[in-house]
């Protein structure tokens, strides 16, 4: 019997009939866990039940009794379950991931070599040092926003690497080709070519190159688009990598010009470029590309059954809005300082404020989803009643990790951290099924996530329950002869350390 009460029965002609009736199942098993399995998967998923004794018809001679909802299972039970379909060598995830990151690394070496050849070694090093300044801040902000349900590290690294390596390499050649095409087609002067290229060609090329990364993740890793916040985070990381490489080129070029003219530090083009691109508008590229990310996030979370043109309308609309904002920003640089500041204050700052508000709203919605959709699992016995509210509070999560680390060390803290992560993904999986968009492997993923929760509950549940309790009142000395009441809460007794087994698949 698999973890979480999910029984995998091989599909044979003799077992194609409906399973025998057992005791009444809770509502969530009837509404969620009975979605049809993937054709040809080789097994049939029997809906899970509330933790309790096995039905008589399913109990074999060597069957073990299931623990109750309040029991703490031993570390060796249930048996490890891994939901990982077998793939051939060329379809292996490791092979594809290694090949993809190798190609991105080659693109990174090529683009950095081209930039160094274009501006020289010393300007390249100066531009690299100055362009690195905003990157840690921007990446930290996006990772903090994504802290409720962190994206896989592969998605994070891919997004940043694509923006810094592949997108900039494509933009470097495409922008140059577009400028030459404008000059030959419209017989434009060099100044007109530069202005038209910055206003029309660059937004089209750069937003398309950055949006390709989001498109690839949408096509091949769509299940990780669980809310609007995922679109903002992924697009922001792509744009941060793109801005990093682009700033190396602009800052290095400005330093090269200052060195040729012998300009000072304060009145140099390098200082002006650093102020405008790094200090004044570090969120410019993430702001533009976030429109494309929001469009793909809407397409990923929309209810199925709509015609394809309605499903692709949000990404297309977001891409057009991103190009419009990018073109407006580049065009404002050709205006007078008053016109530039007018566009900056009247357009860019309000749109930036709207996206920031939307990101915080989406983050609060993620926590609300955790609190709402985990309640059915608590009523079924998989979670304790205080856990849905505790898991919906980032403060309580952090307190639970601290308590687990104080008692069981880092392995216990990692168990609590993974428990909260699996519970969050379980809530999103339940929410997708509720709105009528369950993934094809819903039953297997639900069983897998419940299995991971069950293996870590001996550490995570006491820590979360204790952290969710209100703090005790501050102690004050009692008068002589007064009766001291007993403490309201009994201390959390230490549990024996259990071996931590990191998950191999989620």
DSSP result, 98-151:
HHHHHHHHHHHHHHHHHHHHHH-HHHHHHHHHHHTTTHHHHHHHHHHHTTSSPP
What's the rounded Cα separation, in Å, for the pair 156 and 412?
A: 26
What's the rounded Cα separation, in Å, for the pair 28 and 47?
A: 10
- Per the model's pLDDT, the better-predicted residue between 357 and 260 turns out to be 357
What's the rounded Cα separation, in Å, for the pair 7 and 204?
A: 52
Helices 349-373 and 284-301 pack at an angle, to 10 degrees, of 40
Cβ atoms 332, 344 nearer than 8 A: yes
The predicted model gives 7-25 an average pLDDT of 38
Cβ atoms 203, 119 nearer than 8 A: no
* 504's tokens: 């191999």
Per-residue confidence at 78, pLDDT binned at 50, 70, 90? very low
Cβ atoms 26, 379 nearer than 8 A: yes
pLDDT given for residue 132 in this prediction: 95
What's the rounded Cα separation, in Å, for the pair 434 and 437?
A: 7
pLDDT given for residue 3 in this prediction: 42
pLDDT given for residue 405 in this prediction: 93
Per-residue confidence at 492, pLDDT binned at 50, 70, 90? low
Cβ atoms 327, 206 nearer than 8 A: no
Of the listed ranges 89-98, 357-366, 430-439, the one predicted with least confidence: 89-98
What's the rounded Cα separation, in Å, for the pair 212 and 217?
A: 9
- Evaluate if residue 271 carries a pLDDT over 80: yes
Per-residue confidence at 500, pLDDT binned at 50, 70, 90? very low
The predicted model gives 460-482 an average pLDDT of 72
- Dihedral sign computed on CA atoms, order 304, 232, 441, 384: negative
Tens-digit pLDDT profile for residues 114-131: 999 989 999 999 999 999
User: What kind and span of H or E run contains 169?
Assistant: helix 168-186
pLDDT given for residue 90 in this prediction: 62
The predicted model gives 155-175 an average pLDDT of 95
- Evaluate if residue 216 carries a pLDDT over 90: yes
| N- to C-terminal Cα separation, the chain | 20
pLDDT given for residue 87 in this prediction: 60
- Evaluate if residue 138 carries a pLDDT over 90: yes
- Evaluate if residue 171 carries a pLDDT over 90: yes
- Evaluate if residue 23 carries a pLDDT over 70: no
pLDDT given for residue 452 in this prediction: 92
Cβ contacts of 7 within 8 Å, gap of 6 or more: 1, 46, 58
Supply angle C-alpha 33, 36, 37, rounded to 5: 95
What's the rounded Cα separation, in Å, for the pair 203 and 330?
A: 8
* DSSP per residue, 47-104: PP--SSPPPGGG--TTPPPPP-TT----TT-SPP--------STT-HHHHHHHHHHHH
User: Which residue reads 């379980």 in tokens?
Assistant: 426
What's the rounded Cα separation, in Å, for the pair 437 and 383?
A: 24
What's the rounded Cα separation, in Å, for the pair 457 and 463?
A: 9
- Per the model's pLDDT, the better-predicted residue between 106 and 474 turns out to be 106
Closest CA to 299 of 287, 288, 286, 310: 310
Cβ contacts of 415 within 8 Å, gap of 6 or more: 404, 408, 456, 459, 460, 498, 500
| Most trustworthy range by pLDDT among 29-43, 73-87, 330-344 | 330-344
- Evaluate if residue 476 carries a pLDDT over 70: no
Please provide the size of the chain in residues: 506
Percent of the chain with pLDDT over 90: 53
* 8's tokens: 């995998």
DSSP letter assigned to residue 167: I
SS (H, E, C) 376-417: HHHHCCCCCCCHHHHHCCHHHHHHHHHHHHHHHHHHHHHHHH
Domain ranges, ordered by start, for the chain: 1-12+27-40+374-469+497-506, 120-349
User: What kind and span of H or E run contains 45?
Assistant: strand 43-46
* 472's tokens: 């005790």
Q: Give the rounded distance of the alpha carbon of 237 from its chain centre.
A: 11
- Per the model's pLDDT, the better-predicted residue between 435 and 475 turns out to be 435
pTM (two decimals): 0.77
């Amino acid at each position: 019997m698999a973890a979480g009460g999910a029984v995998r029965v091989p599909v044979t002609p003799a077992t194609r009939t409906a399973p025998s009736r057992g005791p009444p199942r809770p509502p969530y098993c009837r509404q969620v866990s009975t979605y049809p399995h993937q054709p040809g998967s080789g097994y049939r998923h029997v809906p899970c039940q509330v933790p309790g004794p096995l039905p008589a018809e399913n109990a074999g001679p060597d069957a073990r009794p299931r623990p109750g909802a309040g029991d703490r299972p031993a570390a060796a039970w249930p048996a490890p379950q891994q939901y990982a379909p077998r793939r051939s060598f060329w379809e292996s995830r490791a092979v594809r991931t290694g090949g993809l990151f190798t190609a991105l690394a080659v693109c990174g070496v090529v683009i950095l070599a081209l930039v160094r050849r274009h501006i020289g070694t010393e300007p390249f090093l100066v531009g690299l040092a100055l362009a690195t300044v905003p990157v840690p801040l921007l990446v930290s902000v996006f990772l903090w926003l994504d802290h409720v349900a962190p994206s896989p590290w592969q998605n994070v690294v891919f997004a940043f690497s694509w923006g810094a390596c592949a997108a900039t390499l494509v933009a470097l050649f495409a922008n140059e080709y577009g400028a030459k095409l404008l000059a030959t087609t419209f017989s434009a002067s060099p100044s007109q070519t530069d202005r038209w290229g910055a206003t029309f060609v660059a937004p089209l090329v750069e937003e398309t190159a950055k949006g390709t990364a989001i498109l690839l993740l949408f096509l091949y890793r769509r299940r990780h688009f669980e809310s609007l916040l995922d679109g903002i985070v992924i697009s922001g990381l792509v744009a941060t990598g793109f801005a990093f490489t682009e700033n190396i080129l602009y800052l290095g070029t400005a330093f090269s010009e200052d060195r040729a003219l012998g300009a000072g530090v304060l009145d140099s083009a390098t200082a002006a470029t650093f102020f405008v691109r790094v200090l004044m508008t570090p969120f410019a590229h993430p702001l533009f590309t976030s429109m494309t990310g929001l469009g793909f996030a809407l397409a990923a979370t929309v209810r199925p059954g709509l015609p394809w043109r309605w499903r692709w309308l949000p990404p297309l609309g977001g891409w057009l809005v991103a190009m419009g904002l990018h073109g407006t920003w580049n065009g404002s640089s050709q205006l007078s300082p008053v016109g530039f500041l007018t566009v900056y204050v009247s357009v860019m700052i309000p749109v930036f404020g709207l996206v920031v508000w939307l990101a915080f709203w989406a983050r609060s919605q993620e926590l609300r989803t955790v609190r709402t959709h985990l309640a059915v699992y608590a009523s079924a016995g998989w979670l304790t009643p205080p856990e849905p509210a505790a898991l919906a509070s980032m403060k309580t999560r952090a307190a639970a990790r601290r308590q687990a680390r104080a008692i069981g060390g880092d392995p216990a803290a990692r168990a609590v951290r993974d428990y909260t992560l699996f519970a969050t993904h379980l809530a999103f999986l339940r929410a997708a099924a509720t709105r009528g968009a369950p993934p094809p492997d819903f039953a297997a993923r639900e069983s897998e996530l419940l299995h991971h929760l069950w293996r870590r509950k001996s550490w995570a549940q006491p820590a979360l329950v204790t952290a969710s309790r209100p703090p005790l009142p501050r102690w004050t000395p009692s008068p002589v002869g007064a009766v001291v009441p007993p403490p309201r809460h009994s201390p959390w007794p230490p549990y024996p350390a259990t071996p931590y087994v990191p998950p191999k698949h989620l």
